[in-house]
Amino acid sequence: MPVVDVQPDELRRLTGHEDKSDEEFKDDLFALGLEFEGVTDDGAFQLEFGPDRLDRLSVEGVARSLRYQYGDARGVAVPNTNDPDWTFVVDDDVPDERPYVTGAVVRGVDLDDAALDSLIQLQEKLHATMGRKRAKGAIGIHDLTMLKGDVLSENASGNSITYTGIEPDGDTFVALDSNDELTPAEVLEQHATGRKYADLVSEYDRYPAIYDEIGLFSFPPVINGRRTEVSTDSRDLLVELTGTDQWTIDRMCNIICYALAARGATIEEVEVQYETGTVTKPDFEVETKHVSHDRIETVLGVELELDEVIDLFERSGLDANAELGEETVYEVSIPPYRVDVLHPLDLVDDVGRAYGFNELEPRYPDVGTVGQRHERSRLEDAVRTSLVGLGFEDLLNFHMISEGENYERMGVEVGSGYLGGGEPASITEPYSEDYTMLRTWVLPSLTMVLENNTHRAYPQDLAEIGHVAHRDDDENTRVAEARHVAAVLARHDATYEDAKARLAALCRDFDAELETPATDHPSFIDGRTAAVVIDGEEVGVVGELHPKVIVDHDLELPVAAFEFDLSALA
């Protein structure tokens, strides 16, 4: 989950509620779904929230949400924009892998230290989430006064910059945090930021580059030039975004523009000139979605008047008009910075938060049954108790993971037939490249925990009972789901025998017959690996992790492990 640092004094200033105490703010923020995680050394709140509300990745976005909650602002607000004076010319040499650009000119912004820190944090958080670590979208923010625009033509006024592609060893520029004139290829080799993001462009024949009349000033998605560096003295800014998806970079641009507008800045449009035509950015189009009155009442479990629902929408930063007929349906206007409203239930959630989830009265469902624990839940609880009794520390990891962690770092190929090699159930539009699919097995999650805890004392004996899934066209949902039991023993003397002994003890607790015939698995050492056969059915694997897996996870001692299907113990 994203964690954002927010200074409470900035919240007071931007909300206009100077009298609010820190504790009152914490309660109000929790009502919005932002959880207080602690305080930084300089007194900033550390707030964690769901990755859907990316407009809250800055203090300006959080303050805007609070103003709506307090009733100080209502309905959809769209910043006024001035006519364009700058044009982005997209050259035909732009790399095919990164063809899209958008942006805005921002004038009259007051950047003190707090505002500049917030802008930098917003930029980096958007890179990490929507931008997928700059792979899908990257942001460049420049001091406009340091740019000299090309004249478009003899008959046209205004300024232009050019988005193009250059040879890796082409023109030089001085990158941020550097004093040396370097080519793009040299930046990737010699600059710390260049090395960090080199893999994003290293396979390109030509590298993305942005020029003004003076020369190269931005090397997206890697680094900006030092000439246009933004400081607290900057008042006019050029915001440019490049990426692989136009919708994504347009929405990232909107979030930045709204944050700067909250600081009193004026947004000025830019024209983006493609070979196929010219478009005007930023895209502040207000979208609409529909939801029925009955659905709102059914989901929330409360009866609401029509005017009350419209009021709650407006207190959520939305506008709504009721369309009366056999069924009352609301046409709801969505502001340009809201990237999370994809479904009518997202609208119901906004109404519920504005109403106050704490105000909802609990009630028994109108059914004639008595609840009790599911048998699978009872089995999980019993197995978990046995694992703890065997000396394992019980874990609960995310069910989502990346393809690299699930397959590549474990040495498993997709569709290989080995445990964990099933076809992935992938997310079509993930917010983060760290969570792009449902995991097909549990051991990758446990090895990631070991990797992140090399500073802890050993031995580390960890276990988890967790959800796994893989594509299966024979299932109605096209996805087969299961619960797996997995465990690792990380210690200087961990062996296959140690893992098998714990596994055998677990099976004895459930009167299950265990057999361990020799097998092979790419995550384990040949000759130190066996299949887990319980009551005559092969359900998993046990053995010593392969040295390549151990090295790839920066572990410096042996790891023995096992994993099998929980249902085998039923």
Annotated binding site for Mg(2+): 340, 346, 349-350
Structure tokens at 356: 């106050």
List residues forming the annotated binding site: 340, 346, 349-350
Q: Which residues pair with 543 in a beta bridge?
A: 529, 561
Q: How far apart are CA 490 and CA 503, in angstroms?
A: 15
Q: How far apart are CA 490 and CA 123, in angstroms?
A: 39
Q: How far apart are CA 45 and CA 412, in angstroms?
A: 42
Three-state SS string over 401-461 comes to ECHHHHCHHHCCCCCCCCCCCCCCEECCCCCCCCCCEECCCCHHHHHHHHHCCCCCCCCEE
Burial of 155 (0-12, 13-18, 19+ CB in 10 A): exposed
Q: How far apart are CA 210 and CA 381, in angstroms?
A: 58
Rounded-to-10 torsion of CA 533, 534, 540, 541: -50
Task: Give yes or no for a contact between 130 and 431, defined as CB atoms under 8 angstroms apart.
Answer: yes
Sign for the pseudo-dihedral over CA of 295, 296, 300, 304: negative
Q: How far apart are CA 184 and CA 182, in angstroms?
A: 6
Structure tokens at 478: 């096209």
> What DSSP assignment string belongs to 325-384?
SSS-EEEEEE-TT-----SHHHHHHHHHHHH-GGGSPP---SSS------HHHHHHHHHH
Structure tokens at 484: 């797996």
Cα atoms in the 13 Å half-sphere on the side-chain side of 129: 24
Q: How far apart are CA 99 and CA 331, in angstroms?
A: 35
Tokens 């958080």 belong to which residue?
Answer: 125
* Integer CA distances (angstroms), 446 to 3, 333, 399, 507, in order: 23, 44, 12, 21
Q: How far apart are CA 450 and CA 541, in angstroms?
A: 19
Instruction: Extract the runs of DSSP E, i.e. beta strands, from 179-276.
Output: 181-182, 207-211, 216-219, 223-224, 237-243, 266-274
Give the list of residues 6+ apart from residue 145 with CB closer than 8 angstroms, or none.
234, 235, 236
Structure tokens at 70: 């307090």
